[in-house]
Structure 1
Amino acid sequence: MSQEKDFLEKIEKHKGVIFKISKMYMDNFDDQNDLYQEIIYQAWKSYKDFKGNSDFSTWLYRTALNTAIVFLKSEKKRSFIQNQRIEHLPVNHEAYNEDDDRNMKIMYEAIHELSAIDKALIFFFLEDFSGKEIAVQLGITEVNARVKLNRAKSKLKDIIDKKKII
């Protein structure tokens, strides 16, 4: 199997991760799509260096998060982030629930107010990563990962509570 075909199959299998990270780090549809493409591009550029010492998904998480953080910090994107509204992909109207949609909007708006590292922690939490797995991903101790995660969850809860009052 060619390297390109192998890469594309793996990306297809894990595209949900890329989508979630894009949505967590960018607050409008166009920027989410730009980040999605940038993550794939950066993953492809570094795929030749992927040795298989870890699972592809672990490597992709790190690549995607690093790309998202760099992308978010760029001056060009920072100006787009301010004062933009969240845009959504088409929804399945049969399963559509207005309250769920409102809660998802509030959650993503709140996530956008977190720091880049807190976003990563919340992403790992939402993906059911253990404290140990989060520590490995971030290169910190397990205790530190758990403390940082609890702080990030607390910040997120406070932001969401404020948004629901408004």
Structure 2
Amino acid sequence: MSNDFYTSSILPYSGIIIKICRAYTDSQEDFEDYYQEVCLQIWRSKDKFRGDSKWSTWVYRLSLNICLTLMKKKRKTHQYYSTDNIVQNEFTDDKTIFSDENLNLLYEAIKQLSEVDRAVILLYLEEKPNKIIAEIIGTTPNNIGVRISRIKERLKKILNEKIN
């Protein structure tokens, strides 16, 4: 990957990539692996960008798809060795992803959402309009509005249970 491409086409969107990778990983090691894989795949796929959407939308969609694929591969690998509960506990003890405890709580709550709901709330937190979120997720803007309301309620409930 050329330094110019990284500096001009990936680095300005690293915040998006970081948020997605953190939402779909439970350890610093996994986060670093996912981030590296996303950057590599963006570079490999750059010629496939058709310009139908903004570059940032394309980067978000590609990052999300890569993280979901890596997560599914990891899940398949771990189910041969242990149950889901053991695998989940193995990773949730690692709190080194964020130094801010409130941010840790938020991401722990987000990780309890479905894969699609995680993507929706991350886009919402990035202040993306419902139309863009709908385009990335593959649904309607109205559906996104309803989904965001439900996700917020679910997150409030999860966070209240953790705090109390």
* Distance of aligned partners of 1:22 and 1:164 in 2 relative to their CA distance in 1, 3 Å threshold: same
What TM-score do you get using the length of structure 2 for normalisation?
Answer: 0.83
Separation in structure 1 between the aligned mates of residue 87 and residue 55 of structure 2, nearest angstrom: 30
Matched, 1:87 2:92: no
Q: Deviations over 1:60-95 (max 9, x none)?
A: 00000111111111223677961122433685xxxx
Q: Deviations over 1:14-56 (max 9, x none)?
A: 1111111111111211111111111112212211111223221
Where does structure 2 lack aligned partners over 5 or more consecutive residues?
Answer: none
Where does structure 1 lack aligned partners over 5 or more consecutive residues?
Answer: 92-100
1:1-166 matched pairs, under 5 angstroms: 4=2, 7-8=5-6, 9-74=8-73, 75-76=76-77, 82-83=88-89, 84=91, 85-88=93-96, 101-165=100-164
Separation in structure 1 between the aligned mates of residue 141 and residue 103 of structure 2, nearest angstrom: 29
Aligned length: 154
Separation in structure 2 between the aligned mates of residue 135 and residue 145 of structure 1, nearest angstrom: 6
Q: Is the 2:130–2:144 Cα contact (8 Å) retained in structure 1? A: yes
Q: Deviations over 1:74-118 (max 9, x none)?
A: 223677961122433685xxxxxxxxx222221111111111101
Identity of aligned residues (%): 36
Separation in structure 2 between the aligned mates of residue 53 and residue 6 of structure 1, nearest angstrom: 23
SS in 1 for 2:49: coil
